[in-house]
Structure 1
Amino acid sequence: MRFFTAAALLLASVPAVLGQNATLLAGLISLLNDAGLSQLVNVTSQVNTSAAGPSVLAQLSSGGTYVLFAPNNTAFQQASSRLPSDLDGLTDLIAYHIVSGNFTGVSTNYTNTTLGRTLLSDPKFVQLEASGEHQVLAWANRSDGQVHVLNQLNDTIVTNATTYGNITVYTIDNVLTIPETFAQTVPVNNASLFSTQAALSLVSVPYYNSSTNQTTNETLFEVLNSGLHGFTLFAPNNTAVQSVESNLTSLSSNQTALITLFQNHLINGSTVYSPLLSSANSTSAAGEPLTFVLNATGHYVTSGNVTARIVQPDVLLPNGVIHVIDRVLVNVQSDPSAASSA
């Protein structure tokens, strides 16, 4: 009875918000209940009472094309202690489960990924380069033949797919986690060169703060964690760092060279997700060219005379993206003029 009551409460306020599209939402709610996704209906009914909730539901029921990643009842039960306790937080969480666009027939095999923009744009969770930008979600087929939502704290699998009108419903076995900060994300993604606050705090870089119109020296950790709005970082994994450990040790006493090395792993001001890399040859924060190749063996990035393979693409952050690579881009050359233009 509780779930039918939740659906009734949700639909009670629909006409004022959605007008003629109330029928579409009613049909979707019926489909979710029939599919055993009653907890999602219950949570969505709560979201509908928040300030932004009706707007999110209006978008979903606008007649546009969307993908709804729908956690099953067990997923909600397992995540009960992690769910936001406030309505605004629940609204943001539900918004992150809805992707805008038509992905019919789109299928990628990891390490290639499919990406879509979600309805999540709350600046508390999204600090990308453009104001009002929406956070993305990434998914792909893994070697087990199943579709996985990528870079989640809990491995998340699409267990069923169905459609209602222009809405595709992907049933998933976990509640999704909204991308967390650089400090929270990197240590669990095997990117040791950039994995600790201590290591990154050894490198100071000039940072321009647009809100104060001042340039100050900040640690690279602080810049990546909360300073930059929009960046792409190529982060070498443990094996990559170990293979050039002697080179890195020799650079440790040369702050200028160390800064340049880090900057040649970074695109400043642009969040470039993996499907866009091959068409977006870029300039690093040190002013050096970064070039990309995608072929049958994988996705590669080159800086100077070093080419690395992207082994874990699209590690999502509130303010950028990380691609984990299998080699350190040992390039200490720089072009200040090109860096300034970039």
Structure 2
Amino acid sequence: MKYTPALLAVLATSVAAQQNQTNTILQNLQSLTAQGSAKQYNLSTLIGFAGKINGLTDKLGKNDTNYTVFAPTDAAFATLTKNFPDLVASLGNNTDALGDAINYHIVPNTVFLPSENTNVTKLFVRTADAKNNAIQVNLAKAVTLQFDAAAGQGNATVIDSIRSSNGVIHVVNAVLTQPRPAVDVAKAAGLSQLVAAASTNNDLVSALNNLKENTVFAPTDAAFKAVNEFATQNNINITGNLLTNILKFHVVKGVYFSTDIVKFQTASVATLLDNQNVTVTTSQEDGKPVVNVIGAGQATLKLSAAKVVKPDVLVSGGVVHVIDAVLIPDIAAANSSDPSVPKPADVAGNKNAASATTISRAAVVAAAVAAIFAVAL
């Protein structure tokens, strides 16, 4: 059955004013909006949008699958329209984009209840949008949500929770906007110089803007500055091939949130650079987890591991963890046949081996500029 906005409006005024666990999510959404309801949150905007999305109201009105729905109030949609009128207008003219935006408020096959997760302070739920983008749920006295870091809001509070026969509704005080591409997040952070540098290579920008189930370890601005100084001081010529390889080494296959990483003490994780893994370790300092990441090149050059200094920056298609140093892969493999960067084998037996090794180290570190300017936050 096709639920038009007009029909949904009629249903909303005819459904019983009480919400209960025997009602479906759709019925309880309608009841919450009905005049005289015991709990009235004015969810007519959400219901109207849902009616425009093919098949969505049918799903929420059946008991064959469980869902968790984060339901913004009408006031939340009004705030979004005021702050981001162009975004709202674009959704109104694009049914597919609207569907994806609304699906970001839905967690499929899950009944998420904060009361059943009292042993954790935060967790991540994967939504039903096209990339299964995540929402961070913070569990304290108030249950809060974090989502798009580039949206200018990015936070919502759960006002109330209503159990339903096919899941649960969490009424929230803000519209959840989907995480933006990694480069857009960098722009929002004011990293204009880094973004301008990344924009000189369309392939790098495209790779970051089209993450697909990836984790990015992004060195800080301070790390970028240090690398740039190394490159300048040593007159390093960084070729495009080496830049691409270093960037790939900072992108991991699979999405690993901080809550996943702390579950293992040591793990070797595959990167987008062929046959090259990073090693991720978790330890405790002052009772708090500390996550370090290291590549084979760092071990060879006796460089310290990179520490995660800012975890869980949500981006489209994955997550970014900011680190305080660059990751260096196996030098020979990263250099490939690139003549602009000396290989360790090239300096063997050289009376100036120490000096040559120093230059090689600087070259490898400088090569990581590509990774940093594209993903630093």
User: If the length of structure 1 is used for normalisation, what is the TM-score?
Assistant: 0.69
In the alignment, structure 2 segments of 5+ residues that lack a partner are: 15-21, 335-377
CA distance in 1, matches of 2:326, 2:175: 34
Cα 1:223–1:27 change in 2 (3 A) is closer
- Asked if the contact 2:154–2:176 (Cα under 8 Å) also holds between the matched residues in 1, the reply is no
Cα 1:57–1:24 change in 2 (3 A) is closer
Could you tell me which residue of structure 2 aligns to residue 293 of structure 1?
281
Cα 1:318–1:11 change in 2 (3 A) is farther
Could you tell me which residue of structure 1 aligns to residue 147 of structure 2?
150
Cα 1:22–1:36 change in 2 (3 A) is closer
Could you tell me which residue of structure 2 aligns to residue 214 of structure 1?
none
Could you tell me which residue of structure 2 aligns to residue 130 of structure 1?
none
Greater gyration radius: 2
CA distance in 2, matches of 1:262, 1:251: 21
Aligned counterpart for 2:103 among listed residues 76, 91, 95 = 95
SS in 1 for 2:129: coil
- Asked if the contact 1:68–1:98 (Cα under 8 Å) also holds between the matched residues in 2, the reply is yes
**Matched letter for residue 62 of structure 1:** N
Could you tell me which residue of structure 1 aligns to residue 92 of structure 2?
85
Could you tell me which residue of structure 1 aligns to residue 181 of structure 2?
181
TM-superposition CA deviations, 1:112-136 (whole Å, max 9, x none): x412221223xxxx3xxxxxxx333
RMSD across aligned C-alpha pairs, in angstroms? 3.7
CA distance in 2, matches of 1:28, 1:288: 49
SS in 2 for 1:281: strand
CA distance in 2, matches of 1:37, 1:252: 61
CA distance in 2, matches of 1:330, 1:247: 15
Q: CA deviation at 1:257?
A: 4.6
User: If the length of structure 2 is used for normalisation, what is the TM-score?
Assistant: 0.63
- Asked if the contact 2:8–2:51 (Cα under 8 Å) also holds between the matched residues in 1, the reply is no
Could you tell me which residue of structure 1 aligns to residue 117 of structure 2?
106
Cα 1:71–1:54 change in 2 (3 A) is closer
CA distance in 1, matches of 2:235, 2:104: 42
CA distance in 1, matches of 2:117, 2:190: 29
TM-superposition CA deviations, 1:276-327 (whole Å, max 9, x none): 3455631233343312233423333222344233333333343343222233
CA distance in 2, matches of 1:334, 1:285: 17
Q: CA deviation at 1:141?
A: 4.5
**Matched letter for residue 91 of structure 1:** G
**Matched letter for residue 222 of structure 2:** T
Total equivalences in the alignment: 290
CA distance in 1, matches of 2:190, 2:282: 23
**Matched letter for residue 182 of structure 2:** F
Alignment of structure 1 residues 190-209 onto 2, 5 Å: 195-196=194-195, 198-201=196-199
CA distance in 2, matches of 1:89, 1:317: 17
Cα 1:231–1:27 change in 2 (3 A) is closer
**Matched letter for residue 206 of structure 2:** E
Q: CA deviation at 1:97?
A: 0.5
In the alignment, structure 1 segments of 5+ residues that lack a partner are: 13-20, 127-133, 204-217, 337-342
